[in-house]
Structure 1
Amino acid sequence: MSNNLLSYSGITTKVKAMESNLFKNEDYVKISNLETVPEFINFLKSNPSYEPLFSGYDEGYLHRGQIEELIINSLFDSFSRIYRFCNREQRKALIFLSFRFETNIIKYCLQHVHNQEYEYKGSNFDAFFSKRLKINLEQLSTSRTMDEFINILKDTDYYPILKAVQNTNNPTLFDYEMQLDIYYFKKAWKLKDKYLKGDSNKAYTELLGKKIDLLNILWIYRSKKYYDIDSSKIYSYIIPISYKIKKKEITALIETNSVDELITLMHSSYYVRAYGITEINSFESLYRTLLIKIYKSNKQKYPNSMAPVQQFLYLKEIEIDKLTTVLECIRYKLQPDEILSYLQ
């Protein structure tokens, strides 16, 4: 135990220092009162996590896509700094995060190609992180068609996944993204026991298993609420892994006839009971609330593991989502109260 404590004390201290730079509630109140995009960028420059990324740019000439890339790059910059600090054993736990980031980058590029938005270049991504990708980011970011995009990935595990979706009848962006997500979670679940041992394995297994459960629940809800997808097709969007939510419970959720019925069934589920949820206003809010609780309890339960790192990087992802949301709200000149409502 003492060796484990000593091994993780350094990385825990470093992550705690990085966590102190995360935006707090009062910062979001200040940001929501900004009136222009240049003001928004100047506010980011006052934060140690973003100042190095924006310091070489004139805030008056950056367009939306460039700003968004630089904000996202803060996550990869944080990952790279943590990776450099870790020992060989600790880096094994970060392999799974790099898998996830790579999948998300493909999805991000895919969105631009699918929507025919060609602002995205990918050149601002952290160089250290980019070298560890198994994809050619430069080629992906310059693709103009789905055929070109998918063919660039021909020598990767992603090619057969995307090609299979492309060969279905009228595939949507949602279809591509869902299959990429399912691929990632199946891969991570399969490889975790190979790379991780002891508390790191226990912490990651618990975290990943619960996240898979919650994502399956969220996707069932979205399929019914926003896409009106037939129950028989929802099964193809489910990650075929069960943790605390058993297969028969997933089936029951899929087979509900309405969102109200789904909510009623969720009130008796493990996650609502275990984490003291008294009311379900929206599944998106429930998902975020539960994940924050899960990351926090995971860190407390396994302090001498990579759990503190995983929690920090999740909080960093939340911050980036909030900042990109605020950026859009400022562009559309929404009122401060309205902006804050989108950050809940």
Structure 2
Amino acid sequence: MGSITRYAAINSKLKAMERRFLSKEQYRKIFQCMSYEEVANYIKDYTLYGEVYKNYFGEEIQEENIQYALMKEHINNFHSISSFFNGEYKKLFNIMFMKYQFEDLTLVIREKHTGRNHINIKSLITYDSPLNKIPFEKVIGAKDVNEVMSILKDSAYKKYLHSNIDFQNDESLFRLEMSLDYIYYTEIIKVLDRLDREDKVIMKGMVGVYIDLLNLQFIYRAKKYYNLTPEEILNRTIPNGYKININKLKELCYTKNLDEFISILQKTKYKDLFKYGLKEDYMLQRDILDYIRKIHLKYKKEHKNNIGTVFSYLQLALFEIKDIISLMEAKRYNVADEELLNYISFNID
């Protein structure tokens, strides 16, 4: 299948899938719901996501079932879209799927680390896909983190593991998350060089923005919470960013405090992330997602015959699922209405 023909077929599929996206009016209705259960019923009865839920669970509403159904459907769609591609593009999708696997793996390891052993952990992860390379059944059944790491040393991901992570404290989890992010973006950059020229330029720009923002968030968290040296922070940043070069990274890593970090950041493309000074972590995460979302909305609107449209759809679909889940959790814990906007990746007005 030729490139133009292939993307024309994919775009038709994506347009059909986009019909599930919620309107701002539907978000407003969710905001008006009084409880977790009311949101769940609204999703089931008044949105196209209800069809997804009913496919898995019928009419019965149970906690976490919606999260599982939405993520499972998203992973199925990811696999379906990947089937349009072959060669280096197939490799790209296999690497992109690593992000989902690493998020699931981090969740399971965090459960083992804290000793909570969530009784419904299988409902929170999406490992059962043909693209999966991690033996999650064994990982979930492990008694502790050390056993998880032992299992993974025999998996396809053994080359990615670092023996110096001992999981004695939360800093170890932070180091693991950053190591997995480093692995993911390093691997994805490698395959981008083998794409068609237009797709390579587009993806390098998009992925480069992700790398910039992840590095900024990592440096911010490292300085705010953890006793990492500037050298260690710099060594754990991810190369091949879009607008933050190595010299600027060094400057940011070697700042003496967060105020100096923000002052230097004001001279970059991402100055608006801290234009009001220091902020809570969840507010920074929301603003980062909003920044990325605007980039992807541009590509979604244009529906060009290139990889940018496909990547943007997958990211926007994932953002929406996470927004729905965040709002449901906010309702579960009776978050005040004026705070709800802080839990989604865009401004509803």
Contact 2:178 2:236 in 1 (8 A): yes
Which runs of 5 or more structure 1 residues have no equivalent in the other structure? none
Q: Output one character per residue of 1:22-64: Cα deviation in whole Å (capped at 9) or x when no partner.
A: 1233222211222233322222224334532344537766234
Q: Output one character per residue of 1:68-120: Cα deviation in whole Å (capped at 9) or x when no partner.
A: 33333232132133234x14365444223212222222222222222223224
Name the structure 2 match of 1:187. Answer: 187
Contact 1:210 1:244 in 2 (8 A): yes
Q: 105-114 vs 210-219, which deviates more?
A: 105-114
1:191 counterpart letter in structure 2: V
Name the structure 1 match of 2:305. Answer: 304
Q: 88-97 vs 257-266, which deviates more?
A: 88-97
Contact 2:49 2:70 in 1 (8 A): no
2:314 counterpart letter in structure 1: L
The whole-number CA distance in structure 2 between the counterparts of 1:126 and 1:254 is 35
Name the structure 2 match of 1:293. Answer: 294
Name the structure 2 match of 1:335. Answer: 336
| Structure 1 pair 96–204 and aligned structure 2 pair: CA distance change class (3 A) | farther
For the pair 1:270 / 2:269, whether they are aligned, the reply is yes
The Cα shift of 1:320 comes to 2.1
Report the secondary structure of 1:130's partner residue: coil
Name the structure 1 match of 2:178. Answer: 178
The Cα shift of 1:130 comes to 1.3
Name the structure 1 match of 2:11. Answer: 12
The whole-number CA distance in structure 2 between the counterparts of 1:184 and 1:27 is 35
Name the structure 2 match of 1:88. Answer: 86
1:211 counterpart letter in structure 2: Y
Query: How many residues are paired up?
Result: 335
Identity %: 25
Contact 1:325 1:342 in 2 (8 A): yes
The Cα shift of 1:145 comes to 0.5
The Cα shift of 1:280 comes to 5.2
| Structure 1 pair 172–83 and aligned structure 2 pair: CA distance change class (3 A) | same
Name the structure 2 match of 1:256. Answer: 255
1:45 counterpart letter in structure 2: K
TM-score normalised according to structure 1 size = 0.84
Name the structure 1 match of 2:243. Answer: 244
Report the secondary structure of 1:270's partner residue: coil
2:12 counterpart letter in structure 1: T
Name the structure 2 match of 1:233. Answer: 232
The Cα shift of 1:285 comes to 4.2
Contact 1:150 1:159 in 2 (8 A): no
Q: 218-227 vs 8-17, which deviates more?
A: 218-227
Contact 1:203 1:302 in 2 (8 A): no
TM-score normalised according to structure 2 size = 0.83
The whole-number CA distance in structure 2 between the counterparts of 1:211 and 1:24 is 26
The Cα shift of 1:247 comes to 0.7
Contact 1:280 1:286 in 2 (8 A): no
The Cα shift of 1:236 comes to 3.9
The Cα shift of 1:299 comes to 6.1
The whole-number CA distance in structure 2 between the counterparts of 1:77 and 1:302 is 22
Q: Which has the higher contact order (CA 8 A, sep 6+)?
A: 1
The Cα shift of 1:164 comes to 1.8
Name the structure 2 match of 1:104. Answer: 103
The whole-number CA distance in structure 2 between the counterparts of 1:60 and 1:78 is 24
> Aligned ranges for residues 216-227 of structure 1 at < 5 Å?
216-227=215-226
Name the structure 1 match of 2:150. Answer: 151
The whole-number CA distance in structure 2 between the counterparts of 1:338 and 1:278 is 19
For the pair 1:62 / 2:75, whether they are aligned, the reply is no
| Structure 1 pair 8–334 and aligned structure 2 pair: CA distance change class (3 A) | same
1:62 counterpart letter in structure 2: Q
The Cα shift of 1:324 comes to 2.0
| Structure 1 pair 310–280 and aligned structure 2 pair: CA distance change class (3 A) | farther
1:336 counterpart letter in structure 2: D
